Amino acid sequence: MKAPGSVLAVLLSVAIAAGAAWAAPLPGDPTNPLDPLSIPKYVTPLVIPPVMNDADPLNKVQDPYRIAVRQFKQQILPGGIWNTINGRADAFPATTIWSYGPAADPLPDSSALGGGVGIAPAPNSQFNYPAYTFETKANVPVRVRWINDLKENFGAGPDFLPHLLPVDQTLHWANPPQECASGLTRSDCMGMNPAPYTGPVPIVTHVHGAHVDPHSDGGPEAWWLPAAGNIPAGYATEGTFFDDAAGQPRGLNLGYADFHYRQDQPATTLWYHDHALGMTRSNVYAGPAGFWIIRGGENDRTDNINTRFLKWDGILPGPAPQAGDSVLQLNLPTEKVRRKIREIPIAIQDRSFKADGSLFYPANRAFFEGVAPGDLLIDFVPASDIAPIWNPEAFFNTMVVNGGTWPTLDVAPALYRFRLLNGCNSRFLNLSLRVISSPLKALVGKELSFYQIGAEQGFLPKVVEIRTGFATPLPGDGRFPMPANRIAAPDPDQALLMGLAERADVLVDFRFLPSGTVVRMVNTGPDEPFGGFSGSLIPGDEPVADPATTGQVMQFTVDYKLLALRDFFTTSPWSLKLNAEGPLGAAAVTRNVSLNEEESGVVCVNADAATGAFIVPILQVACDSVPPAGQVAVPFAPKAAKLGTVNGAGTPTPTGNPLAWADETGASAPVPVTLNNGAVLTANVTENPSLGDTEEWNIYNFTVDAHPIHLHLVRFEVVGRTLFDGAPSPKGSVQPWEAGYKDTVIAYPGEITTVKAKFDIPGLYVWHCHIVEHEDNEMMRPYVVSGP
């Protein structure tokens, strides 16, 4: 996020670089993160998440699921259960987390495997981080009862649990205490209490990318508390727009909501996570997230163009994990089930840990500024307009993949299908595959391609070969892609770029690698806010992740003993024809919306006039003060990020009109919203599509960050990108991997990103930036689809 005044962009990079240094462990200070270099890499196997089975004996079938969020521990760092598998003696403690599992499942117990009571992964319980995968079918509705069991004794209670992480009560947040800065007594408002909120914890589950009715969307103001016995008097037990498919009345405090999912969308990779207002960053960082995969339907088929007289006979890598495959069958390297798996969902996240194994998340704004808390000497809320705990973005020092740090996977010399998810809080990923070692020395240092077949909402029109500096739609003529035919990406450093919450359905070809070859997934996305690649033709000019830590993701080792007969029948990427959906029709409405950042209206500090760096210690000064020579007094920033409308749209010099979530400036119109329980509420919105309309949204980015923008409800097409004056975007208009339907799009600074969507279910939804630190502080707005 940008800094104030005339030194905007420089200040940010200086602060972030300093922040990385400050985040290193300080001797004798247990509150700082564990040194990531002390964590051994590639010693634990990649965990393959099993399929979620509802083991509740009260349910004879899996409809509805009864899924709870509970607190337990997991061996994320090396040690415990992993020592039993790899023969090592690592002693890192287990990490306390939250995640989902069937309500009937017991506390995880991995004692027999070298873990312990209450520690996952465990064979007796499906509670796990990431959560087990929902395997669903297109056009077959799914019902889930989501239960907030963040109570003592693994959900048995009676009392609620405190939050694991610092929660800022001065943001516009769920606010169960109903202590509003405005003086009103209500939930879902900005507070004034600078102390961290401890509990009870609100949750609401959102299936990201689902085509769903508003009562089951998991909107941020639809949260609820656990049904605990010690909820303080006067606390709201659900959000303002709490609703569910059963029309549950407000105030019952049942601790759950029943959501129904239509599933009327093509086969694709979705994911589910918490979405509570102003708390998504802390709730999701604590663990609750998992994959939701839709299979079947008209579009879930491919064609092998080499078999001219057969149609839709393409064979993608498989099998995937099946219902009934146990966590041991999928994750003990000697198990036959694991050895035959060829399709794996892979969630990539960054985390930091303390020496006791607990999660580290910053408790002071000083973390973002890159200074010790004692060197940030400014007023915070309630004495100013700067939140004391919220950090505008947060980057962590350890890569966690499917719930383990820097894991490894033995692979057959075969094609694999990986469903990749960027599940980080703020970090953009730029992924590539590099041969680290091989019996064939000529391969060392070579790059393997990703063959992307799908994005967030189904298949692409064509397979896209992606490698550093290139993104090439394949003609699908059965011929191996030759280097001379590759199409350059907009920047030579661009590889498989993934914004927050984006998914990439990719094939990786290990077929021609000798046994013993080691391939590493590398990340060259930066350890700082991402504003897009420079566009320079000179490679290597971009800031990149620390190559010793966050620049590494996971590792693959080729093992010929894993080869199976089925592997010989999988269709090569260059012979695949994909069955993508056709395009939307013409748009009936065009809207202009904006991405903005706010600076403080009351707090100023001195900055270096040449570099823009805040002078350390960062001291609050009068905004009209005369600073020492070489310095300039600037507003402290960022204060918040906001969505809004556009002034002067279509002119060379447009400006943003930032709007708060609960905008009362007059720019928004009050629109009635009818809940499933019959209550009629009002939402102040600037976006009010008519039911059934197809619209184009021009997203103007007035910040220096790239923002991954997500619209609930809809699947959209990326129409194009231009500069504000209409000139072509140097980032490229529509990238080849954006040619299919998406639900999240990267909007670059100084550009207009245009998307097209059909709004076909009436009700209240939201759109927001998926940098969760941004969405938690105003970079989210409601919109309402109104019926005739």
Using CA atoms, how far apart are residues 425 and 351, in angstroms rounded to an integer?
Answer: 9
Q: Over the chain, what is the mean pLDDT?
A: 94
Residue pair 682/672 in contact by the 8 Å Cβ criterion: yes
Interval 201-222 mean pLDDT: 98
Residue pair 410/559 in contact by the 8 Å Cβ criterion: yes
Residue pair 347/429 in contact by the 8 Å Cβ criterion: no
Residue pair 272/338 in contact by the 8 Å Cβ criterion: no
**Tens digit of pLDDT for each residue in 672-684?**
999 999 999 999 9
Query: Residue 314 corresponds to which tokens in the numbers above?
Result: 């393409």
Phi-psi domain of 604 (left: phi exceeds 0; alpha: psi -120 through 50; beta: other): beta
Using CA atoms, how far apart are residues 53 and 103, in angstroms rounded to an integer?
Answer: 11
Using CA atoms, how far apart are residues 26 and 41, in angstroms rounded to an integer?
Answer: 22
What pLDDT does residue 537 have? 85
Q: What SS3 string covers 475-540? A: CCCCCCCCHHHCCECCCCCCCEEECCCCEEEEEEECCCCCCCCEEEEEECCCCCCCCCCCCCCCCC
Residue pair 754/698 in contact by the 8 Å Cβ criterion: yes
Q: Which amino acid is at 104?
A: A
Distances (CA, A) of 233 to 156, 176, 237, 240, 265: 21, 11, 10, 18, 44
Asked whether the predicted pLDDT for residue 380 surpasses 60, the reply is: yes
Distances (CA, A) of 324 to 133, 337, 520: 12, 11, 31
Q: By CB neighbour count within 10 A (0-12 exposed, 13-18 middle, 19+ buried), where does 35 fall?
A: middle
**Tens digit of pLDDT for each residue in 732-772?**
899 999 999 999 999 999 999 999 999 999 999 999 999 99
Q: Where is 433: in which H helix or E strand? A: strand 429-437
Residue pair 68/100 in contact by the 8 Å Cβ criterion: yes
Asked whether the predicted pLDDT for residue 663 surpasses 70, the reply is: yes
Q: Which amino acid is at 638?
A: P
Interval 440-469 mean pLDDT: 98
* Tokens 């976006």 found at: 687
Asked whether the predicted pLDDT for residue 128 surpasses 80, the reply is: yes
Interval 763-785 mean pLDDT: 98
What pLDDT does residue 62 have? 52
What pLDDT does residue 63 have? 65
Q: Which amino acid is at 152?
A: E
What pLDDT does residue 32 have? 76
Beta carbons within 10 angstroms of residue 31's beta carbon: 11
Q: By CB neighbour count within 10 A (0-12 exposed, 13-18 middle, 19+ buried), where does 682 fall?
A: exposed
Interval 536-554 mean pLDDT: 94
* Buried residues in 503-531 as b, exposed as e (16+ CB within 10 A): bbbbbbbbbebeeebbbbbbbbbbbbbbb
Angle at 534 between CA 530 and CA 535, to 5 degrees: 135
Asked whether the predicted pLDDT for residue 389 surpasses 90, the reply is: yes
Residue pair 553/521 in contact by the 8 Å Cβ criterion: yes
Torsion of CA 379, 385, 388, 389, to 10 degrees: -170
Interval 150-157 mean pLDDT: 97
Q: Which amino acid is at 398?
A: T
